[in-house]
């Protein structure tokens, strides 16, 4: 008979777990727009319906083929790979996760752009006022001097902005503004014009910093919310720790090559009892390690390029969100989704390349595809001397 106290305790723990998860989702939803939630719910429901049509139909039937084609047609911009009738249930699940994550992110980017629209309008207004004030201050200058004054004030404004971001305060701007005007024209700028220009510079910088702060805050809010819902973080490509893993493998392989070459020198040294077979085996081991190193080096380069390209695309997307231009947001979001899908494909290719390298190294023997931990020695035959190769964790 089951212990009723244990059953009750299990029920309480399950309830606590549910409440914690529910509370986490609720907290993270605080800064998310209601329209986004509505769009997200409708989109994810539609995705589930589309993919359910695949899993609910029998492989080899017309209904199954039509369901696959419908998903490929509808979500081709979000799928890592187009599905086929040979796709396994696991492939279908991965595809559904990838589509859900990509579309959820796209909706989040658009929602952020909408929420930032008023702030962006304020920045545009402040920027217009800033340039109008520059025109008023320089109206008595010739065209060349006007251009110089505008360029120098622009440059000075960026310096002041950088200082404000770092310290949260402004220095006295008037003396510098007057000095720039004097440098360009040899004349003095009136106190009223200087004060107005100083005020416009400060207001513009405040509005820009406010927009930047809110943009980053919303980005974090939406990312946390999607993660709390379990819609993101299901394997979007190459992570930074993956780069470290490959770098460690490169380091270990280089060490193994050095050790293997030392062992080969010992085999070749006068008085060595190593046979020609021993020497040939050791040379083959070195060649295999060098092939492994070449593969790993290529992998690291490809991973770095993929990470860098995606970073640039994400920066472009952030700028698009700040601009509030929905067409630009859609284009940038599509590009990010495309690169994330390419990273998935790259990772699959990399896994295959590494598997081939490991198989070559272990002469076709079963191996563990885990991070390397150094070197080990083993004998290629009953009478041969030992040789060195890279070792992997079990």
pLDDT tens digits for range 175-231: 999 999 999 999 999 999 999 999 999 999 999 999 999 998 998 899 889 988 888
Place of tokens 């290629």: 380
As given in the structure block, the two tokens for residue 47 are 């995705």
The answer to whether 72 touches 79, Cβ cutoff 8 Å, is yes
* Section 146-150 average pLDDT: 93
pLDDT of residue 124: 92
Of the two residues 26 and 199, the one the predictor is more confident about is 199
Whole-number CA gyration radius for the chain:
31
Q: Which helix (H) or strand (E) holds 392?
A: strand 387-392
- Confidence category of residue 298, pLDDT binned at 50, 70, 90: confident
The answer to whether 310 touches 332, Cβ cutoff 8 Å, is no
| pLDDT at position 50 over 90 | yes
| pLDDT at position 326 over 60 | yes
As given in the structure block, the two tokens for residue 7 are 């059953």
| pLDDT at position 108 over 50 | yes
Average confidence score pLDDT of the chain: 78
Highest mean pLDDT among 40-49, 76-85, 278-287: 40-49
- Confidence category of residue 29, pLDDT binned at 50, 70, 90: low
Model's pTM, two decimal places?
A: 0.56
pLDDT of residue 346: 67
Helix, coil or strand: residue 233: coil
pLDDT digits (tens, 9 = 90+) for 352-377: 555 555 454 444 444 333 333 333 33
| pLDDT at position 80 over 50 | yes
The answer to whether 102 touches 78, Cβ cutoff 8 Å, is yes
Place of tokens 């429901």: 45
Task: Tally DSSP H helices, then E strands, for the chain.
Answer: 11, 2
As given in the structure block, the two tokens for residue 318 are 């952030």
Q: Output b/e per residue, 61-80; b: 16+ Cβ within 10 A.
A: eeebeebbeebeeebeebbb
Q: CA–CA separation, 189 vs 196, rounded Å?
A: 11
- Confidence category of residue 291, pLDDT binned at 50, 70, 90: confident
Q: Please choose, from the candidates 257, 262, 352, the residue with its C-alpha nearest in 3D space to the C-alpha of residue 298.
A: 352
The answer to whether 181 touches 149, Cβ cutoff 8 Å, is yes
Beta partners for residue 57, in sequence order: none
- Confidence category of residue 1, pLDDT binned at 50, 70, 90: very low
| pLDDT at position 320 over 90 | no
Lowest mean pLDDT among 209-223, 297-311, 338-352: 338-352
Is the Cα dihedral 356, 359, 364, 370 positive or negative?
negative
Q: Which helix (H) or strand (E) holds 256?
A: helix 240-268
């Amino acid at each position: 008979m089951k212990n009723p106290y244990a059953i009750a305790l299990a029920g309480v723990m399950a309830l606590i777990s549910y409440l914690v998860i529910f509370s986490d989702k609720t907290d993270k939803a605080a800064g998310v727009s209601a329209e986004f939630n509505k769009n997200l719910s409708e989109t994810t429901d539609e995705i589930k319906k589309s993919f359910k049509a695949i899993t609910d139909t029998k492989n080899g039937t017309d209904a199954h083929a039509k369901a696959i084609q419908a998903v490929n047609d509808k979500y081709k911009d979000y799928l890592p790979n187009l599905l086929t009738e040979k796709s396994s249930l696991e492939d279908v699940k991965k595809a559904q996760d990838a589509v859900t994550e990509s579309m959820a992110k796209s909706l989040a980017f658009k929602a952020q752009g909408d929420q930032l629209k008023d702030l962006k309008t304020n920045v545009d207004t402040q920027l217009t006022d800033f340039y109008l004030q520059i025109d008023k201050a320089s109206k008595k200058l010739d065209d060349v001097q006007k251009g110089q004054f505008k360029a120098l004030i622009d440059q000075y404004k960026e310096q002041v902005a950088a200082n404000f971001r770092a310290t949260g305060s402004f220095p006295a701007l008037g003396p510098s503004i007057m000095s720039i005007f004097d440098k360009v024209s040899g004349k003095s700028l009136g106190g009223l014009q200087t004060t107005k220009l100083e005020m416009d510079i400060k207001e513009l910088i405040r509005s820009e910093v406010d927009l930047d702060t809110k943009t980053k805050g919303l980005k974090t809010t939406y990312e946390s919310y999607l993660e709390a819902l379990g819609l993101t973080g299901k394997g979007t490509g190459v992570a930074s720790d993956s780069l470290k893993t490959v770098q460690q493998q490169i380091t270990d392989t280089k060490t193994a090559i050095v050790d293997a070459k030392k062992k080969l020198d010992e085999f070749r040294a006068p008085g060595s009892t190593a046979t020609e077979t021993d020497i040939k085996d050791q040379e083959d081991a070195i060649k295999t390690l060098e092939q492994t190193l070449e593969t790993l080096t290529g992998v690291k380069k490809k991973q770095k390029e993929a990470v860098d390209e995606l970073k640039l695309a994400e920066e472009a997307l952030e700028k698009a969100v700040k601009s509030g231009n929905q067409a630009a947001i859609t284009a940038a979001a599509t590009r990010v989704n495309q690169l994330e899908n390419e990273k998935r494909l790259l990772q699959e290719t990399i896994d295959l390349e590494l598997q081939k390298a490991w198989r070559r190294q272990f002469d076709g023997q079963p191996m563990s595809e885990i991070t390397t931990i150094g070197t080990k020695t083993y004998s290629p035959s009953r009478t041969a001397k030992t040789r060195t190769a890279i070792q992997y964790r079990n």
